[in-house]
Amino acid sequence: QVQLLESGGGLVQPGGSLRLSCAAAGSIFSINVMAWYRQPPGKERELIASISIGGGRTNYADSVRGRFTISRDNAKHTLYLQMNSLQPDDTAVYYCKAYTYSGHEDYWGQGTQVTVSS
């Protein structure tokens, strides 16, 4: 079992920045990869960034590459998403996800709302 607790969402103006956090607890040694997804209102959930826990290798969706940075602090068992140059199209519920080595389980955070508006 893995529990994920997200924080850091809120309201920000266009061009602004925000940092999301996702703290993991439980069977953390089963986690291979962590990722951030987002789901705008009325749209499908979208993978936007991922990172391997062991090596720190990252991948980004084209929509966020160059603006968002995914990182992890393994000592704190925490995943981060630094979001810069935010635009209204970034408005969504943001979710963190943990993938396990076995592939038989995955875990989701509760989601946190990010709203970009003037």
pLDDT tens for 95-106 read: 999 999 998 899
Sequence-separated (6 or more) residues with CB below 8 Å from residue 25: 2, 3, 5, 77
**What is the mean predicted confidence (pLDDT) over 46-73?**
97
- Please report the pLDDT score of residue 13 as a whole number: 98
User: What is residue 15's predicted lDDT score, i.e. its pLDDT?
Assistant: 98
Residue 11 has a pLDDT of: 98
Given CA atoms 15, 16, 21, 22 in this order, what sign does their dihedral have? negative
For residues 66-82, give the mean pLDDT: 96
Residue 90: helix, strand or coil by DSSP? Answer: helix
Per-residue pLDDT averaged across 72-101, rounded? 97
Which one, of 104, 97, 112, 113, lies nearest residue 3 by Cα? 97
Q: How confident is the model over 12-45, as pLDDT tens digits?
A: 999 999 999 999 999 999 999 999 999 999 999 9
